[in-house]
Chain A
């Protein structure tokens, strides 16, 4: 089977590897280097050793940002539960079900920016639908300043993430449900399972690959959230930095304040966190497959 050396596969791979090399691999090396420098992009970087990191450890906003990014992880279990429930509902063979599936998918294709602007106005003090509805229903006496209240910044952003993600993950779980053989459910019914038990004992275990996928994808997206925060706070990060997440802080330091060195140190911490996260996910995945 030994063939003569051929250049062909390498030539096929060359364009892709070139782009990935320039825009993914080189940046890692560069960011590591920048993180040890004082660098404002316009003048050459100055080596300052660990100074960015020591400053970072003492930076209260950075700790706040890490905390916010981890709080944001609440969206992952919420999305998994809600989108599985929704998938079970739309898996019924009802007339017109495709229209509903399509409707739920609308926020996914519309893009975070357009959707986020709509969401922001929904919570607006004067013109917002939520204040309008709650006041006219008599739930609230007066409109609430949702967007100006630091306590509400993250919950509103997370509600946006969930609203957008629901349709996307629903489709993934729907595909998983449709892969589960019908006779498993028939057997469960014969064994006396009711509707809920049926889903608990058959749907959930059957959806394991999809659950793992969604957990990994949505938790990484949550740790790296930016667009939602940007749109809802108008690029400011919310009152008292209440919406500043790791990536938002990275963006602010790098591209608003031109602190590329400091931002690179943030990027390295972010990388270490996502790395740890991925190892954890892989471990859990391995344990799950061993159990079978």
Chain B
């Protein structure tokens, strides 16, 4: 081989590289598939189990993955014993209103931090920066007491929406985005006599639309999957969101794995559909978020 290389370099390297490339590519695909199996197998198993009837083994030796007697019984059983429809609607209400209102509040706050000069701007900015360190769970004790004694929204969806209207992280991301808006654009509008509110809404916001989309997607996913605070606030079954309801279901169906599996599938499928549709924005957005 070595001799061949020294004598006929061009042809042999081409011939040598081709099979090596193919072997390499196969190796990478095997590796990729292996990792995919680890990430997806538990879901696949849950998905298949949710269609298994009582005669089907969940785990048997040898392993049986596919349901021999596929059935929708598990879904019907879960649906009949728990208000899954309510869970779903509640989750949609909370996620939609949190995302829309949070974006309004945080983009309104981010705009002057990026584009205006006023006394106390840096002080406010550093105060917000400092709140990053505070563990969310610390704030839940006083927030819980406020919910009961002051706001009296315990066991309602307001308790989930109201505290999440402003998040420091979103203010930072949007401030970063507003900074890239050209000043000439804003000054031109100011000379025309537009109010700052109109400039924010009609000029600045449209320019940062890609960042807005990213922040919206992430706020929505976090809100959809939020568990600890909702579990502290929601008591009545009818008022629960999907993750809280799923834990209630896990308690009720303790040894009924087929039922729990159906519940997991019901919870996960909507967010996965959302992810598949918006996959590009998800991945690009995450990348941008770190740079900011």
Contact = CB atoms under 8 A, between A and B. Distances in A.
Interface of A: 1, 3, 6, 8-10, 12-13, 15-20, 22-28, 30-31, 34, 41, 86, 89-90, 92, 94, 97-98, 100-107, 109-115, 117-119, 121-122, 124, 126-129, 131-133, 135-136, 163, 166-168, 171-172, 174-176, 178, 209-210, 213, 220, 224, 226-227, 230-231, 234-235, 247, 250-251, 254-255, 260, 263-264, 267, 270-271, 274-275, 278
A289 B230 CA distance: 41
B267 A114 contact: yes
Given A106-B272, A109-B221, A224 B137 contact: yes
Nearest to B267: A114
Contacts of A209: 290-291
A224 B45 CA distance: 30
Nearest to A213: B290
Contacts of B106: 16
A132 B25 contact: no
Contacts of A166: 39
B191 interface: no
Contacts of A1: 117
A92 B28 contact: yes
A106 B39 contact: yes
Nearest to B127: A25
Contacts of B139: 23-24, 27-28, 31
> Would you call the interface of chain A mostly helix, strand, loop, or mixed?
helix
Contact of A227 (B108, B200, B228): B228
B42 A9 contact: no
Interface string B115-133: 0111001001000100111
Nearest to A29: B142
A129 B257 CA distance: 12
Given A15-B165, A22-B146, A136 B118 contact: no
B45 A129 contact: yes
Contacts of A103: 36, 39-40
B272 A267 contact: no
B196 interface: yes
Given A9-B116, A23-B139, A100 B36 contact: yes
B196 A86 contact: no
Which 3 A-B pairs have CB atoms at the shortest separation, nearest pair first? Answer: A175-B287, A111-B225, A16-B109
A86 B34 CA distance: 12
B138 A110 contact: no
A254 B165 CA distance: 25
Interface stretch (B4-12, B54-62, B73-81, B180-188): B54-62
Contact of A267 (B138, B225, B271): B138
A24 B134 contact: yes
Given A9-B121, A16-B171, A254 B141 contact: yes
Nearest to A276: B133
B152 interface: no
Interface string B94-119: 00000000000110110111001110
B137 A255 contact: no
Contacts of A30: 141-142, 145
Contacts of A18: 166
A89 B133 contact: no
A118 B46 contact: yes
A225 to B, nearest CB: 10
Contacts of B243: 111, 113-114
A27 B143 contact: yes
Contacts of B264: 114, 117-118
A107 to B, nearest CB: 6
Interface string B33-45: 0011011111101
Given A31-B138, A113-B247, A274-B135, A255 B35 contact: no
A109 B146 contact: no
A271 B109 CA distance: 26
Nearest to B137: A247
Nearest to A279: B133
Contacts of B28: 89, 92, 94
A103 B41 CA distance: 11
A275 B131 CA distance: 11
A183 B110 CA distance: 38
Contacts of B46: 118, 121
A129 B124 contact: no
A167 B39 contact: yes
A110 B108 contact: no
B205 interface: no
Nearest to B115: A9
Nearest to B249: A117
Contact of A104 (B39, B135, B221): B39
